[in-house]
Structure formats: structure tokens, C-alpha cells
Amino acid sequence: MPYITQERRNKIDTAIEILCHEMFCNELTEPGDLNYVLTRIINIVGITENYKYSDINNVLGVLECVKQEIYRRVAVPYEEYKKRTNGDVF
């Protein structure tokens, strides 16, 4: 669930914005860049040296929730717009 308190968002967003600006200048050059950044973050905070199955399960659960939230908030509205623009297939 990405809906954390505003106080926590402010602290985290500052670091994320610095990273994104430094690494990408607000533009990803390759999809692998984002994959690498997310993998490194997970390796640092989610999969520690002495990881257990529950650590792997937790990380995969978070990634699945992120995927579903992006689909719900970004992909679905886009697909609905395209359906209205180009006509329904079904």
C-alpha cells in the first residue's frame, strides 16, 4: 500500500527525487535502468545477507501490490481512454 503518512512521504520523497534527478534527469534511458534501481533497493533493504523465505515472500508481495496499483491507477484509465477513442473490441 503506497498510502503512507505525509510525514514519511516527505522524508522518502526527498531522497527519491534526488536519486531520480541524478540518475535519469527525469527521463529513463532504458527500461533496464529502472529495473536495476529497484533491484538494488530491494537488495539493500529487502533481501539482507541472512535472508529467509519470509523476506523473499515479503519483497515479492510488495512488488505484486505495486504492479496491481500501477495497473489500477495508470493502465486501466489509459485503456478506457483508448477504448473510447478507438472503439471497443468486445
The answer to pTM > 0.85 is: no
Task: pLDDT tens for the chain, 90 residues: list them.
Answer: 688 999 999 999 998 888 888 777 656 667 888 888 899 999 998 888 889 999 999 999 999 999 999 999 999 999 999 999 999 998
DSSP one-letter code for 71: I
Integer CA distances (angstroms), 86 to 51, 75, 80, in order: 48, 16, 10
What pLDDT score was predicted for residue 18?
A: 87
What is the domain partition of the chain in residue ranges? Answer: 1-45, 50-90
Q: What angle do CA 25, 60, 46 make, to 5 degrees?
A: 65
- Residue 54: count other Cβ atoms within 10 Å of its Cβ: 8
SS3 27: coil
What pLDDT score was predicted for residue 27?
A: 66
